[in-house]
C-alpha cells in the first residue's frame, strides 16, 4: 500500500501528484504557497520555511511510511492545492489529514475539490475507517468548512499551541468512512 501512495493518483479528472514526484520548480512552487501569509498564519508552525529545509523535508518523504503529501491538479493543469495524510496507521485504519488551498487560485469550490480528493484517497484507495484533524480554535472559517464536509468536533486541547508567546486551544475533529459517504 505504501508504494501505491508514493505514486501519483488519478481520480476522474484530478491528479494527485506525490510531493516526491514533483519537479524542482514544482517543489519550490509548493514552498511559495506554504509561505504565503494566507496559508502560513493558520499553520501550527507559522514561520517562513527556507528552501533547503523544504527540499530536505520532501526528500525525507521517500523513506517515510506514515506521511504522504500530494499536490492536486485537474486535467487542464489548474493547481488546487495540497492534501496530506499524516500519522497513517493502516492496521487501525486511521490517519490525520492536512489540507491547504493554492493561495493564488481564485476558484470557488477549490477547498471542496481538495476534500473530495482526500476522501477518495483515504477511504476508497487506502480503505481507512477514520480521519482526524486538528485546527486552531480561532480558525472559525476552517472549522465551519470541516463541519460542512461532515467532520464532527471530538475534543479540545486546551492551551495546546504556543504561537508568538500566546497560548491557543486546538479543536480535534473527525469523520468516519460511513459519515463521509464512502461505505
Chain segment 104-161, per-residue pLDDT in tens: 999 999 999 999 999 999 999 999 999 999 999 999 999 999 999 999 999 999 999 9
Looking at the domain assignment, is residue 86 inside a domain?
Answer: yes
Q: Give the domain extent around 126.
A: 2-176
pTM, two decimals, is 0.94
In a domain, 183, yes or no: no
Q: Mind listing the pLDDT tens digit for each residue in 28-87? A: 999 999 999 999 998 988 899 999 999 999 999 999 999 999 999 999 999 999 999 999
Assigned domain for 127 exists: yes
CATH number of the domain bearing residue 156: 3.40.630.30
* Residue with the three cell numbers 477514520: 130
**Is residue 34 packed enough to be buried (19+ CB in 10 Å), middle (13-18) or exposed (0-12)?**
middle
Phi, psi angles (nearest 5°) of residue 29: -65, -45
DSSP state string for 132-148: EEEEETT-HHHHHHHHH
Q: Which of 50, 42, 48, 34 is nearest to 161 (CA)?
A: 42
Report the C-alpha gap between 17 and 134 in whole angstroms: 24
**51-59 long-range Cβ contacts below 8 angstroms, 24+ apart:** 54/27, 54/28, 54/30, 55/27, 58/19, 58/20, 58/22, 58/27, 59/20
CB 112 within 8 A of CB 134: no
Count: domains in the chain:
1
In a domain, 156, yes or no: yes
What does the block give as the cell for 5?
501512495
Instruction: Identify whether 111 is part of a domain.
Output: yes
- Write down the pLDDT at residue 164: 84
Amino acid at each position: 500500500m505504501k508504494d501505491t501512495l508514493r505514486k501519483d493518483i488519478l481520480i476522474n479528472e484530478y491528479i494527485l501528484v506525490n510531493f516526491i514526484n514533483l519537479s524542482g520548480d514544482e517543489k519550490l512552487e509548493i514552498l511559495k504557497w506554504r509561505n504565503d501569509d494566507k496559508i502560513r498564519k493558520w499553520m501550527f508552525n507559522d514561520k517562513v520555511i527556507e528552501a533547503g529545509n523544504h527540499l530536505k523535508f520532501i526528500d525525507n518523504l521517500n523513506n517515510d511510511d506514515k506521511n504522504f503529501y500530494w499536490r492536486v491538479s485537474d486535467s487542464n493543469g489548474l493547481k488546487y492545492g495540497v492534501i496530506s495524510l499524516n500519522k497513517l496507521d493502516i492496521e487501525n485504519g486511521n490517519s490525520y489529514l492536512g489540507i491547504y488551498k493554492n493561495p493564488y487560485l481564485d476558484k470557488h469550490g477549490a477547498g471542496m475539490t481538495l476534500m473530495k480528493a482526500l476522501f477518495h484517497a483515504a477511504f476508497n484507495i487506502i480503505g481507512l475507517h477514520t480521519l482526524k484533524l486538528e485546527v486552531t480554535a480561532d480558525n472559525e472559517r476552517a472549522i465551519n468548512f470541516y463541519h460542512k464536509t461532515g467532520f464532527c468536533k471530538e475534543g479540545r486541547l486546551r492551551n495546546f499551541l504556543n504561537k508568538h508567546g500566546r497560548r491557543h486551544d486546538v479543536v480535534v475533529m473527525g469523520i468516519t468512512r460511513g459519515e463521509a459517504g464512502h461505505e
